[in-house]
């Protein structure tokens, strides 16, 4: 696994890797990848992928509104708030 | 101007009561922020989503109306991205088994535009950016609401065509009850792809303009983008493949920061959501219950003799066409009369009141019955057209036309004796107008108007005209 691949994965996972963590993590990931390579070698030509062990008939719900969380309790879960809004990192330029 | 190649990606809020994967209210976008939330749509650990049957059926109806192929089994995937509007750090969407594929929708002119796919997903939260703050604000009321995404083939050629296509999509979505499709409420949003065709016929570099939120803006953004790309190529530059945004104030497209350096969504089947069978019998039943679509309605209205504009206007509006159809059914006169009254008199009064037909006449059948009664009174000459227009306001407010006619004494007066007295009075009061009418026959209209006014609009104008002309001739 290249440095660039490791950086990309870390970025996707929002992980900030310290230099001394990189080699251990790279070794772990390579073992995972090797395991998948082993499985990739199996011939599955003509077989439908089994995404779930059991099939559920009609796994849907009717379109009925039910009360959710108490709004104040829900807002209180946020790390930061601003009135009824939840406060999150800035995502837009200061263009109003 | 070189040929443009345009494709659209359109998002439509699905019309349901509850959200896509939880039972929170999906209709309260305008309510206090974070009012309609639960562990599922907040992305709390351990919460499990269950798909909304109604959202699936309405999306299927939309896909069928767009002539899509519908699979026998569908499923949801996770699309991963990290952004504050996505509480789970992924969006539940569809990947390789969308609810519809390989469809088409014809423009009003008849040209068919290919539909690549229609799929169902969950909406994101709403972000608000206070000016000059170091943070943004998040409202999760919309998070998890059902959202349809439809993608077209790059078949559109001009900005005007793109706008007409959006209007047709809106009309179809409303006709089948899949979405309110109202851009002004954020329930219909479009991303626009545009490139210029090279002289050798191949497609040029594609630029995407994101989040264009009105039909007019889509047209304006495309005009601007085509002009920008044309100028670049004429000046010997290349078009760069990029995502741009539409700046409404400046009426121009501007480069946009991308959400993630490189999109890497890592789609995977959502393990929390079982695959969903779509039995052929169920899809056939939805197909059989399909209402008349706007294109068929337009053709039917044109065959009734309606002007193309009026036909298009009624066909695009489920409520207006319900009123029109029911009024025609109850009225024993020409459909064009119904169309004229609806398109000018009724529409004019709605504009003046700043309201909509839906608000004034929530029950189309009830309003149509009253309107048909009113038109019948005018049509069989019980009241004059002037009197009919006068009582239309009361009819819009729920009054029975025949009763208003009685109360206000508006029944047409055709009795010659009564009208002759009125004509003589008016002529005696306006000797100057009488004098000019003897020289200039057109001036008789001025006298006619005064007699009509004196009768409160109830006089039979044809009889009055005859009496006036006879009196003027006698007087000569």
Answer with the one of B253, B268, B284 that is the final residue of a domain: B284
Asked if residue B224 and residue B264 are part of one domain, the reply reads yes
**DSSP code at position B364:** H
Rounded Cα–Cα distance for residues B264 and B271 (Å): 19
Rounded Cα–Cα distance for residues B119 and B250 (Å): 33
Asked if residue B152 and residue B24 are part of one domain, the reply reads yes
Asked if residue B258 and residue B120 are part of one domain, the reply reads yes
Answer with the one of B261, B284, B307 that is the final residue of a domain: B284
In angstroms, the separation between the Cα of residue B70 and the nearest Cα of chain A is 17
User: Is A86 in Cβ contact with B32 (below 8 Å)?
Assistant: no
Using a CB–CB cutoff of 8 Å, tell me whether A31 touches chain B.
no
Asked if residue B434 and residue B385 are part of one domain, the reply reads no
For domain A3-40, the question of CATH label 2.50.20 is answered with no
Contacts of B29 in chain A (CB under 8 A): none
Residue of A nearest to B75 (CA): A51
Q: Tell me the angle at which helices B318-330 and B308-315 cross, rounded to the nearest 10 degrees.
A: 110
| Contacts with B183 (C-beta within 8 Å, 6 or more apart), sequence order | B189, B213, B214, B215
Closest by alpha carbon to B37, among A40, A69, A65, A51? A69
Using a CB–CB cutoff of 8 Å, tell me whether A73 touches chain B.
no
In angstroms, the separation between the Cα of residue A84 and the nearest Cα of chain B is 5
Task: Give the count of domains, chain B.
Answer: 3
Using a CB–CB cutoff of 8 Å, tell me whether A76 touches chain B.
no
User: Is A77 in Cβ contact with B42 (below 8 Å)?
Assistant: yes
User: Is A63 in Cβ contact with B18 (below 8 Å)?
Assistant: yes
Answer with the one of B228, B261, B284 that is the final residue of a domain: B284
For residue B441, the model assigns a pLDDT of 79
User: Is A90 in Cβ contact with B133 (below 8 Å)?
Assistant: yes
Rounded Cα–Cα distance for residues A71 and A76 (Å): 8
Q: Tell me the pTM.
A: 0.84
Asked if residue B358 and residue B262 are part of one domain, the reply reads no
Asked if residue B208 and residue B144 are part of one domain, the reply reads yes
Asked if residue B56 and residue B28 are part of one domain, the reply reads yes
Cβ contacts below 8 Å, chain A against chain B, sum to: 133
Asked if residue B296 and residue B258 are part of one domain, the reply reads no
Looking at the predicted structure, is the pLDDT value of residue A59 above 80?
Answer: yes
* ipTM of predicted assembly, 2 dp: 0.88
User: Is B23 in Cβ contact with A68 (below 8 Å)?
Assistant: yes
Angle (CA) B436-B440-B445 rounded to 5° is 85
Asked if residue B53 and residue B191 are part of one domain, the reply reads yes
Grouped pLDDT means (10 residues each) for chain B, 476 residues: 86 98 92 95 95 98 98 96 91 96 94 97 94 92 97 95 96 96 92 86 84 89 91 85 84 72 80 94 96 94 90 90 92 89 89 89 90 87 83 86 80 78 88 85 86 81 86 77
Contacts of A4 in chain B (CB under 8 A): none
Task: Determine the residue among A61, A76, A96 to mutate to test chain B binding: the one whose Cβ has the most chain B Cβ atoms within 10 Å.
Answer: A61
User: What is the domain extent for residue B320?
Assistant: 292-408
Asked if residue B74 and residue B55 are part of one domain, the reply reads yes
Residue-wise DSSP of B278-342: --HHHHHHHHHTPPPPHHHHHHHHHHTT--HHHHHHHHT-HHHHHHHHHHHHH-SS-HHHHHHII
H or E stretch covering B245:
strand B242-247
Contacts of A84 in chain B (CB under 8 A): 32-35, 139
In angstroms, the separation between the Cα of residue A38 and the nearest Cα of chain B is 20
Looking at the predicted structure, is the pLDDT value of residue A95 above 70?
Answer: no
Rounded Cα–Cα distance for residues B465 and B448 (Å): 6
Q: Which residues of A41-51 are buried (b: 16+ CB within 10 A; e: fewer)?
A: eeeeeeeeeee
For residue B247, the model assigns a pLDDT of 84
Contacts of B261 in chain A (CB under 8 A): 11
Task: Determine the residue among A59, A86, A89 to mutate to test chain B binding: the one whose Cβ has the most chain B Cβ atoms within 10 Å.
Answer: A86
Rounded Cα–Cα distance for residues B221 and B216 (Å): 9
Asked if residue B110 and residue B56 are part of one domain, the reply reads yes
Reduced to 3 DSSP states, what percent helix, strand and coil does chain B have, rounded to the nearest 5?
45, 20, 40
For residue B257, the model assigns a pLDDT of 64
């Amino acid at each position: 696994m290249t440095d660039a691949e490791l950086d990309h994965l870390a970025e996707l996972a929002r992980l900030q890797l310290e230099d001394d963590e990189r080699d251990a993590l790279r070794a772990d990931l390579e073992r995972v990848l090797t395991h998948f390579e082993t499985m990739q070698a199996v011939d599955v030509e003509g077989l439908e992928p089994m995404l779930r062990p059991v099939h559920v008939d009609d796994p849907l719900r009717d379109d009925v509104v039910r009360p959710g969380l108490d709004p104040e309790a829900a807002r209180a879960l946020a790390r930061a708030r601003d009135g009824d809004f939840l406060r999150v990192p800035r995502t837009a330029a200061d263009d109003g | 101007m070189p040929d443009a190649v345009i494709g659209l990606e359109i998002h439509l809020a699905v019309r349901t009561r509850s959200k896509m994967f939880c039972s929170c209210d999906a209709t309260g976008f305008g309510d206090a922020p974070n009012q309609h939330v639960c562990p599922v749509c907040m992305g709390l650990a351990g919460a499990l989503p269950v798909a909304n049957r109604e959202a699936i059926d309405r999306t299927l109806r939309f896909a069928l109306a767009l002539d899509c192929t519908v699979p026998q089994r569908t499923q949801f995937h996770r699309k991963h991205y990290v952004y504050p509007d996505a509480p789970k750090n992924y969006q539940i969407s569809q990947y390789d088994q969308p609810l519809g594929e390989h469809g088409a929708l014809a423009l009003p002119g008849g040209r068919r535009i290919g539909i690549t796919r229609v799929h169902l997903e969950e909406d994101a939260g709403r972000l608000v950016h206070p000016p000059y703050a170091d943070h943004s604000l998040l409202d999760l009321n919309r998070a998890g609401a059902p959202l349809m995404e439809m993608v077209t083939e790059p078949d559109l050629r001009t900005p005007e065509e793109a706008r007409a296509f959006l209007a047709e999509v809106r009309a179809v979505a409303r006709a089948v009850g899949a979405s309110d499709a109202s851009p002004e409420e954020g329930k219909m949003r479009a991303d626009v792809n545009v490139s210029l065709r090279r002289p050798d016929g191949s497609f040029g570099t594609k630029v995407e303009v994101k989040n264009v939120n009105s039909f007019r803006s889509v047209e304006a953004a495309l005009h601007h983008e085509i002009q920008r790309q044309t100028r670049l190529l004429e000046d010997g530059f290349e078009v760069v493949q990029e995502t741009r945004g539409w700046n409404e104030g400046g009426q121009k497209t501007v480069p946009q920061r991308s959400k993630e350096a490189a999109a890497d969504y890592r789609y995977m089947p959502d393990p929390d959501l079982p695959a969903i069978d779509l039995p052929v019998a169920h899809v056939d039943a939805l197909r059989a219950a399909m209402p008349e679509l706007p294109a068929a309605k337009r053709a039917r209205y044109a065959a009734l003799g309606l002007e193309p504009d009026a036909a298009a206007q009624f066909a695009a509006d489920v409520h207006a066409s319900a009123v029109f159809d029911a009024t025609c059914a109850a009225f024993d006169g020409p459909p064009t009369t119904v169309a004229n009254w609806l398109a000018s008199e009724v529409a004019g009064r709605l504009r003046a009141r700043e309201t909509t037909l839906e608000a004034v006449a929530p029950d189309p059948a009830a309003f149509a019955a009253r309107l048909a009664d009113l038109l019948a009174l005018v049509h069989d000459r019980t009241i004059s057209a002037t009197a009919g227009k006068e009582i239309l306001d009361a009819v819009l407010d729920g009054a029975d036309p025949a009763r208003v006619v009685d109360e206000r004494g508006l029944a047409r007066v055709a009795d010659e004796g009564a009208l002759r007295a009125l004509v003589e009075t008016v002529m005696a009061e306006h000797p100057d107008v009488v004098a000019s009418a003897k020289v200039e026959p057109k001036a008789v209209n001025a006298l006619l108007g005064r007699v009509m006014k004196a009768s409160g609009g109830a006089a039979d104008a044809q009889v009055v005209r005859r009496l006036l002309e006879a009196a003027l001739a006698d007087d000569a």
